[in-house]
Amino acid sequence: MLYREALNKALDEMMEKDETVVILGEDVGFYGGNYRVTEGLYAKYGEKRAIDTPIAENSIVGNAIGMAIGGLRPVAEIMTVNFILIAMDQIVNQMAKLRYMSGGKVELPMVVRTPQGVSKQLAAQHSQSLERFFTSTPGLITMVASDATAAYYGLKYAIELDDPVIFLEHELLYPMKMEIQERKDFDPFKADVVKEGKDITVVSYLKMLHDTLQAVSVIEKELGVSVEVINLHSLNPLDMETISKSVKKTGRFVIVTEEPKTGSFAGEIVSKVTEELFYQLDAPPLRICGEDVPTPYNRKLELLSIPTPDKIAKQIIYWGRENGI
Amino acid sequence: MGKSIVERAYYLMKLGRVFEERAKEEYMKGNIAGFLHLAIGEEAVHVGATLAFGKGDLFVHYREHVWALARGMSPKTVMAELFGKKTGVSKGKGGSMHLFDPAFNFYGGNAIVGAHLPHAVGAAYARKYLGHSEGVLVAFGDGATNAGNYYESLNLASLWELPVLFLNENNFYAIGTRVDRASAVKELYKKAKEFMPAVRIDGMNFFEVFDAVSKAKEYIETEGKPYYIEALTYRYEPHSMSDPGDYRSPRELKVFHDKDPVEFLKKEGIKRGLLTQEFIKQIDERVEKEVEEAVQFALKSPEPEDKELYTDIFCEVCTDVVP
């Protein structure tokens, strides 16, 4: 199975089960989705439930808010995260705030799905990671799906939740082959320890999780240590319990994200770790992030702008040696 | 038009007028803070449209106290919201610009110009999908007609054939910028005509508003398609309490004060034998009393507790996991 098929399966099962679940977005219906995530749903559920919209992101989210008010459970797709900026008023001023401003009277059971990240040579306006904008907005749940299991169970969970969810996917994960692990008790608000270790805690998600896992054996061999890797399914709320437990064991913390470093979500996690676990740390926390540049088109420059398995390994090894591992 | 509707209209318009005049006083005293946008002068639109529209969903802008009162929300809980009290319709967390009550199908109270238009379109989609017959009314000012949300919403309501009544309250000013200095098309209803039937009416005249909205409601609910009304109206007060309002000439103000919608309804109602001096006197007394009670209720109501800072952000499931 492909990662995108896990998302499709989640949508299909939820639409099958609950006729108030509708999907909307650019090309999600007749065309089947630009990344084929919604393929087949138009044929199966019709145009009233697989709703093609014009190129009007602000309305896609704004209409979804109205649909949620009107008794539906809409799942809006923004073709890529880059275009979500057009809808930021609806997300930040409306979706995140209506429950609070109404004293709890207005509930918005809705999901906004969107892929982010650097794909291949799509240049600056199509290659961004913007999780910081969502995680720093009170009133939004920000989930990430790093593998087929999180994609399938996480998306179903998000659709059933009575809160607005930003559901982040990654463009390069869509065609990747992976299986859904049987996880009936899947809880997106609990992070998974995907690899146990005792010397360094590395937290990551989306594409960078896979790059980190590729880097692990080199790091372990070079430093002679064992690395623990944590996969987040939700950025806000954040499962600090799992992170804390791991850092107390290892005494060393690394976060790997694809976003530019300055003002990053990675910085927020490091703040939390430093505030809560300062005396457990044997080394300064390490952030491995994208460079503070717009993503360049040229492939060589593009790869210089984001972490890769090789760079992740090199940076952790260097940091490890500098800090007496 | 029946006597009872005109009587109800007079009561609500007078209630709105007195409520807002009192809100202004309470603002000066410091009991109300932040932005307070008064609709004094626009009552015929707010009350006429609400009464004619029946029970369907309302999505309104931030100048919405009279809309809320006309919909039946209590002057007490609305005033308490203006005071920021626990007993307010939005528990003191929304304030003047954010009145919400799904029990009255009343969805704001939105303070981003035009941002609620897509909500109305989405809600109409949902209601139609679920088999409800009632349409959705969305009210917005002249300023919103120049923003992207406006065109997106006209397009989608028309494309998807949704029962939305777009009610444009053209009060001629977007804060201090007069409509003809902001809109290339001077007659605003023409900016909707390619998408749906659109008319312009006198928004100072209750009878005209009531008839136009009744007709529009019938159209959207039987045809299942959108309709557009531009109601020409005027706010006697500045944009908000923090606007000096000195961009309008005394002559212009006089022209519109001469068309005062409450006075017009009174005169016209008596002339048509639908209102009596005695009834008007009774209502005027009742309204004064109700507004006084609302203010006393708001004054005596407690502040929200500190713990309210962290409630109503998420549903129970997420509240449990967010530290």
Fold category of A3-170 in CATH: Rossmann fold (3.40.50)
Buried b (16+ CB within 10 A) or exposed e, A306-318: bbebebbbbbbbe
Chain Cα centroid distance, residue A287: 17
SS3 B182: coil
Whether residue B317 has pLDDT greater than 90: no
Q: Does A267 touch chain B (CB under 8 A)?
A: no
Q: Parallel, antiparallel, or unpaired: how do β-strands A200-204 and A227-231 relate?
A: parallel
AA identity, residue A62: G
Closest partner CB to A67 (pick from B57, B88, B125) = B125
What's the rounded mean pLDDT across residues A239-268?
98
Structure tokens at A84: 């979500």
Query: Is the predicted pLDDT of residue A231 greater than 70, yes or no?
Result: yes
Average pLDDT of the segment spanning A241-247: 98
Give the pLDDT mean for A268-272.
Answer: 97
Whether the per-residue pLDDT at A63 is higher than 80: the answer is yes
**Which positions in chain A touch B119 (Cβ < 8 Å)?**
62-63, 65-66, 69, 94
A190: closest chain B residue by CA: B321
- Distance (Å) from the alpha carbon of B84 to chain A's nearest alpha carbon: 11
What are the pLDDT digits (tens) for A146-196? 999 999 999 999 999 999 999 999 999 999 999 999 999 999 999 999 999
ipTM attached to this prediction: 0.95
Exposure letters B75-109 (e unless 16+ CB within 10 A, then b): bbbbbbbbbbbbbbbbbbbbbbbbbbbeebbbbbb
Cα–Cα distances in Å, from A259 out to A130, A201, A290? 7, 20, 5
Contact A58 B313 (CB under 8 A): no
Percent of chain A with pLDDT over 70: 100
Taking only the tens place, the pLDDT of each residue in A73-132 is: 999 999 999 999 999 999 999 999 999 999 999 999 999 999 999 999 999 999 999 999
CA-to-CA dists, residue A224 to A217, A220, A248, A287, angstroms:
10, 5, 20, 21
Euclidean distance between CA atoms B304 and B318, whole angstroms: 22
Query: B101: part of which helix (H) or strand (E)?
Result: strand B100-101
pLDDT band at B316; cut points 50, 70, 90: confident
A13, A39, A107, A126: the catalytic one is A126
pLDDT band at B76, cuts 50/70/90? very high
Whether B272 shows a pLDDT value over 80: the answer reads: yes
The CA distance from A247 to A98, in Å, is: 37
Q: For residue B319, what pLDDT is reported?
A: 81
Average pLDDT over residues B205-226: 97
What is residue A84's predicted lDDT score, i.e. its pLDDT?
A: 98
Best to test chain A binding among B133, B136, B161, B318 (most A CBs inside 10 Å): B318
Q: Confirm or reject contact between A101 and chain B (CB < 8 A).
A: yes
Contact B101 A163 (CB under 8 A): no
Cβ <8 Å between B122 and A62:
yes
Give B169's strand partners.
B141, B231
A97 half-sphere exposure, CB direction, 13 A CA radius: 20
Average pLDDT of chain B to the nearest whole number: 96
Give the residue among B160, B142, B133 at the shortest CA–CA distance from B221. Answer: B133
What residues form DSSP beta bridges with A75? Answer: A23, A111
pLDDT at A325: 87
The answer to whether A170 is a known catalytic residue is no
CATH fit for domain A192-322, picks 3.30.830.10, 3.40.605.10, 2.40.110.10, 3.40.50.920: 3.40.50.920
Whether the per-residue pLDDT at B23 is higher than 70: the answer is yes
pLDDT digit string (tens) for B108-139? 999 999 999 999 999 999 999 999 989 999 99
Tell whether the model's pLDDT for residue B323 goes beyond 80: no
Answer whether CATH 3.40.50.970 is correct for domain B3-321: yes
Q: Are B118 and A66 in contact (CB under 8 A)?
A: yes
Alpha-carbon separation of residue B105 from A103, A125, B57 (angstroms): 15, 41, 5
Residues of B in contact with A240 (CB under 8 A): 323
Tell me whether residues B101 and A98 touch, CB distance under 8 A: no
For the question of residue A126 being annotated catalytic, the response is yes
Cβ atoms A117, A127 nearer than 8 A: yes
